[in-house]
């Protein structure tokens, strides 16, 4: 899409947070290595296909506990980067605590659109409901989370009226939502180079912003982020919590102290962190 809206340097700096980490390549490599090690040592069912797309796959990590809750994690990467395999390490702390984990992959921009990505995540959650028993997971304890772009897609899932999407699925499919460093208003991204691959205009940005969608659930929602994130991410979280607080679903915000947009994910994978303990307590 040809750019028609000028780039705002403040927003570019506030949202393109990779530029704030000179060690981003090393961080990504460490995540990949930790994830590969966990896949070797955990009970895992890799590449379960939930749709026809090349990346319509998820990995299921099983803790071995009967009727365990399921923590569904949707990775970030501004809807155009990343892969589920890099994020296996997130499952480690949950497995130790008796929680099953699903790491979801999905088609990315520019080959996919934002609207189609929302549909992919909905299809993944429907697949978990329909195939949970066969895969050894509890379809009645699905808790949805995601980081950054995955936080946005978590918001979309919480705003989905499930029976209208699939008649086989109950309205209360999702038992809790935990978006992490989420992007709930997309319009500011139109003034950054991040949006160049996203197929968005102002109308589509608003229509796909969880901020402007009512929750289709009464499940509790914990909006989290790193305390050291940029003002733009804190604004996103604060605005979302204020808006969705007017609805029936209980909602709270938590900022993990002293960590940025990426280290908040490292904290989530640690059994000793407060964000992990809060997330664990949130699971239904």
Across 126-132, average pLDDT: 97
Sign of CA dihedral 7, 13, 15, 16: positive
Average pLDDT of the segment spanning 228-234: 98
Burial class (CB in 10 A: 0-12, 13-18, 19+), 179: buried
What value does the mean pLDDT of the chain take? 97
Q: Is the pLDDT of residue 1 over 80?
A: no
pLDDT at 91 over 90: yes
pLDDT in tens, 44-81: 999 999 999 999 999 999 999 999 999 999 999 999 99
pLDDT value at position 268? 98
* Residue pair 39/83 in contact by the 8 Å Cβ criterion: no
Identify which of 275, 159, 158, 170 has the alpha carbon closest to the alpha carbon of residue 226. Answer: 275
Task: Give the pairing type, strands 174-180 and 100-104.
Answer: unpaired
pLDDT-above-70 percentage for the chain: 99
* 2, pLDDT greater than 70: no
Query: Cis link prior to 268 (omega < 30° from 0)?
Result: no
* Max Cα distance, the chain (Å): 54
| pLDDT at position 101 | 98
Tell me: pLDDT of 29 over 60.
yes
Q: How confident is the model at residue 4 (pLDDT cuts 50, 70, 90)?
A: confident
- Over residues 90-110, the mean pLDDT reads 98
Q: What is the pLDDT of residue 3?
A: 72
For 132-174, the pLDDT digits (tens) are 999 999 999 999 999 999 999 999 999 999 999 999 899 999 9
Question: pTM value?
Answer: 0.97
């Amino acid at each position: 899409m040809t750019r028609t809206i000028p780039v705002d340097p403040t927003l570019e700096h506030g949202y393109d947070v990779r530029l704030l980490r000179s060690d981003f390549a090393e961080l990504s490599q460490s995540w990949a290595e930790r994830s590969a090690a966990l896949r070797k040592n955990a009970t895992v069912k890799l590449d379960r296909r939930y749709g026809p797309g090349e990346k319509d796959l998820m990995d299921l990590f099983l803790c071995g506990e009967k009727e365990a809750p399921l923590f569904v994690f949707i990775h970030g990467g501004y809807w155009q980067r990343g892969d589920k395999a890099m994020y296996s390490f997130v499952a480690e702390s949950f497995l130790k605590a008796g929680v099953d984990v699903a790491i979801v992959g999905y088609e990315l921009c520019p080959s996919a659109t934002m609207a189609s990505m929302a549909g992919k995540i909905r299809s993944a959650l429907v697949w978990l409901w329909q195939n949970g028993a066969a895969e050894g997971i509890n379809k009645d304890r699905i808790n949805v989370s995601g980081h950054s772009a995955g936080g946005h897609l978590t918001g979309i899932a919480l705003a989905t009226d499930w029976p209208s999407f699939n008649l086989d699925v109950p309205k209360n499919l999702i038992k809790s939502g935990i978006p992490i460093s989420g992007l709930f208003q997309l319009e500011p991204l139109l003034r950054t180079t991040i949006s160049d691959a996203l197929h968005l205009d102002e109308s589509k940005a608003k229509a796909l912003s969880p901020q402007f969608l009512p929750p289709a659930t009464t499940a509790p929602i914990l909006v989290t982020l790193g305390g050291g994130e940029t003002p733009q991410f804190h604004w996103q979280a604060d605005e979302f919590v204020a808006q969705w607080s007017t609805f029936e679903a209980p909602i709270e915000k938590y900022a993990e102290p002293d960590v940025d947009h990426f280290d908040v994910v490292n904290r989530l994978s640690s059994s000793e962190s407060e964000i992990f303990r809060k997330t664990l307590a949130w699971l239904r």
